[in-house]
Chain A
C-alpha cells in the first residue's frame, strides 16, 4: 500500500506514456487414463484460470508499475483452486542502473527439461508438474547494466512455500503434503531474508550466467509425520548456499547447453547438472517447418536422496515448429531414468485460432515407475489435457 501511494504521487507529477490492460482467460479439461488410487479423487477434472496484467509507464518508460494477479478455480482439487500475485512491482531505470521493488518473476537458465539454476521464484506445482509455473517473489532487485555484463543483486525478504495437490487432487504423493504445517531450518521461518547475486553476459557465441544464492531452499524435503492422528508429509525447508553456472554455446544449428549447481546444506555439499544440446533441422522435407532434436543428461550426486527426480536421467525430445500463420508447435519427449528405466513421457502442442485464441494439448505419461523413483506415486496419473485460452 505504501508502495502504491508512493508511486501514485510519482505518477502524479509526470506524464504517463502508456497504460494498458492485457491478459488471458483459460479453460482446461484433464482426463486421467487410469482410475484414481485414492478416495475422493476424480478421473476427469475441469478448471478455469484468469491472469490479467495491468501496467503503466511514465517518465519516458523509465518508470513502470506492473500488477498481475492470478486466479484459478478447479472442480476437484481445493489446493489447485488458488490465487497468487504473480507480479506487483515498481521498476525505475536510472542510466545504467535499474531498481525493482515488489513482487516479481525472474528466470535464470538455458536448458529445456529441467531448470536447475532457476532459484528465485517458488514453483507453483499445482499448476503443472513441469515446474514452469512460478509464484510471485517479493524482492528488492538492483541491476547494473555495464559493458562487461549485467550484475543483478537480490534481497528476498519473504519466502513463498511450494504448492502441492490436495487430498482430492490427482498428481499427488500417496501421503498428502500438509502445506499448513511446513517446517523450516531457519528460526525466522518464512521471514528469513534471502540474498542472491548473478552476473550474466555474452561473449561471441557464448552466453554465460554465474550466480550465488544464500537462503531458504525452494525445494523442500518431504518428511513423513503424524499430524492430528494422520500420517502426512510435512515440507521442510532447509537453508542452502548454492553457486550456479549456466552456459550456452550457439554454434550454427547447434545449441550446446549446461546448467551446473554446487549446493551446501546441513547434510553437506552436493553437485548436480543438466547438459546437452538442441540441434535444428531447417526446412524439413521441403516445407517451411523446423525440427529440433533435443538431448539432455541429468546428474545429481545425492543419487537416491535427491529431492529432484532426475539424478541419472536422459531426456530426448523432438520439437516440431511449423512456422505457419497459426504458430503451430509440437514438443514430444521423454525423460528416462538410466538406473530404473522409469520413463516420464511428455507431449505439448499448441496452435493459434484467429487473432486472439489459442488451443493447446498436453499429455504426461508415467511408465515403468520403480518404488525408488520420485514419480512412483504418480504411476497411475497419466493424463491428457486440453486447454483453450482467450487473450485480451
Chain B
C-alpha cells in the first residue's frame, strides 16, 4: 500500500535528481586515470587506465582500457549500465584475443585490487539508490546538504552511504560507505573540481580510504575531453577488441 513519502525522503531524492540533471547532456567524454594504491605500510603501486563514456537514456556505456601494469596492457572492460537491473559487462583479454562476458553481480568486489569496488566505479544512476535528506552542514566553510542513500541492489557491499553535496553546484565532496555490518568501511573525498563546457564539473582527484584495512587508493583523473562524437559502435564488442 502506498504511503506518503517522508519529507526527508522527498528532499533526498530531489537532491539526487538535481545532481543528475546538472550532469545530463554531456553526450560523451574521454579521460585518463592514474590509480595510486597504498597499503598500510605505505608501499605504493600504480595503474594507468583510459576511460570513455557514452551518455545514454537507459544508462551510460563505458570502456576502461588498461595501460599499466604492462602485463594487463590492452585489456579492456566494457560496461552497459542500467537503472534498475544488473549491468552488462565484458572483459577483453588481449593475450588470448578473448572477450569474456563476466558476471556483474560481483558489485562489491575490488576494481583492479584497489579500494574502489566495481559499484563505486559504476555509473551512479539515480534509480540505483533510495534517498533520505539528513541535514544542512558546513564542510570546510562550504554550505552542503548531507544525505543518506541506500543501495537497491541486495548484492551491494553497503547498507548505506552518506553524501556531502555542495548547495551551489550539487557536486559530491565526501562519501562515507557503511558495510553490511553497518560500520564505517571507507571514506571517499573529492578534490580539484574543474568545469568543462561551462557546465560539467569533474573532480581531478578522488581518494578512497579504507578505515578497516588502513589501505587507500588515489584516483588522478586528467585529459578530460567532451563531445568526441562517439556512437554506440564505439562501445560495441568489436570496438573492445580494437581499442588501444
Contact = CB atoms under 8 A, between A and B. Distances in A.
Contact of B71 (A96, A132, A391): A391
B141 interface: no
A327 B236 CA distance: 27
A150 B237 contact: yes
Given A324-B113, A327-B72, A356-B69, A202 B244 contact: no
A10 interface: no
B110 to A, nearest CB: 5
A106 interface: yes
Contact of A253 (B69, B101, B105, B233): B105
A91 B237 CA distance: 16
Interface string B82-120: 000010100000001111111111101110010000000
Contacts of B102: 250, 255
B70 A202 contact: no
Interface string B118-133: 0000000000000000
A145 B101 contact: no
A325 interface: yes
A20 B45 CA distance: 23
Interface of A is mostly: strand
Given A57-B244, A355-B46, A282 B73 contact: no
A107 interface: yes
A323 B108 contact: no
Contacts of A96: 233
A282 B101 contact: no
A264 interface: no
A20 B67 CA distance: 12
B104 to A, nearest CB: 8
Given A55-B244, A132-B96, A202-B88, A325 B39 contact: yes
B69 A355 contact: yes
Contacts of B72: 327
A391 B73 contact: yes
A150 B238 contact: yes
Nearest to B238: A145
Most chain B beta-carbon neighbours within 10 Å: one of A64, A98, A109, A391? A391
B109 A290 contact: yes
A96 B231 CA distance: 11
B39 A355 contact: no
B108 A282 contact: yes
Nearest to A105: B97
B110 A323 contact: yes
Nearest to A288: B110
B75 to A, nearest CB: 11
A197 to B, nearest CB: 16
A340 interface: no
A349 to B, nearest CB: 14
Interface in A96-148: 96, 98, 105-107, 109-110, 132, 143, 145
B101 A358 contact: no
A356 B71 contact: yes
B15 interface: no
Contacts of A132: 96
A323 B101 contact: no
A63 B43 CA distance: 41
Interface string B212-244: 000000000000000000000100111000101
B238 A391 contact: no
Contacts of A57: 244
B113 A327 contact: yes
B237 to A, nearest CB: 7
Contacts of A326: 113
Given A202-B101, A355-B68, A91 B242 contact: yes
B237 A252 contact: no
Interface string A181-221: 00000000000000000001010000100000000000000
Nearest to A150: B238
A18 B74 CA distance: 14
Interface in A362-392: 389, 391-392
13 contacts: A22-B73, A207-B101, A250-B104, A253-B105, A253-B106, A280-B106, A324-B113, A326-B113, A327-B113, A355-B46, A356-B69, A356-B70, A358-B71
Given A280-B105, A325-B113, 19 more contacts: A22-B70, A24-B70, A61-B242, A64-B244, A93-B242, A96-B233, A107-B96, A110-B101, A207-B101, A253-B103, A255-B102, A282-B108, A288-B110, A323-B110, A355-B45, A355-B70, A356-B71, A358-B71, A391-B70
Closest 10 pairs (CB-CB, A-B): A391-B70, A107-B97, A107-B98, A325-B113, A252-B105, A323-B110, A356-B70, A358-B71, A282-B106, A145-B238
